[in-house]
Amino acid sequence: MTLELLRKLRLYDRVFDIDAYTLKRNRYLAQALLIRRMDQFSGEIVDLIRRRKCRISPIVYLYCVPVGVELLAKKLLRMMQEGPRPMRVVAATLLAFYRSVRRLARRSVDRDT
């Protein structure tokens, strides 16, 4: 994604499968939006998008739902494998996911109007 934002992607077509990236681009961006506060690299990508004033397609925000569910399921599975957890921890995780999806949905609506 960084190479695309810097307009350098085509320079790497011999070592990088651009077609495979293009097919999953929206999914990658949705994941970066969802984990930007936990992952420094994703945060830098989102910051670069904002600095360059690039428009994020509404489809990316739609991808946030299945990607977010997948990330949440993986996190809950890890939590279960680590041992018993208080229900409040699981509830807090679900609430945080709900709030992040709601926040992204609002941004998508605000940008389209």
Q: Please determine, for residue 11, whether its predicted confidence score (pLDDT) is greater than 80.
A: yes
pLDDT for res 13: 86
pLDDT for res 31: 92
The tokens 């397609």 sit on which residue?
57
Q: How far apart are CA 2 and CA 28, in angstroms?
A: 11
| 56: containing domain | 2-112
Q: What is the pTM of this model?
A: 0.68
- DSSP label of 85: -
Question: Contact at 8 Å (CB) between 84 and 54?
Answer: no
* pLDDT, tens only, 35-67: 888 889 999 999 999 998 888 888 898 888 888
Highest mean pLDDT among 44-48, 76-80, 94-98: 44-48
Number of compact structural domains in the chain: 1
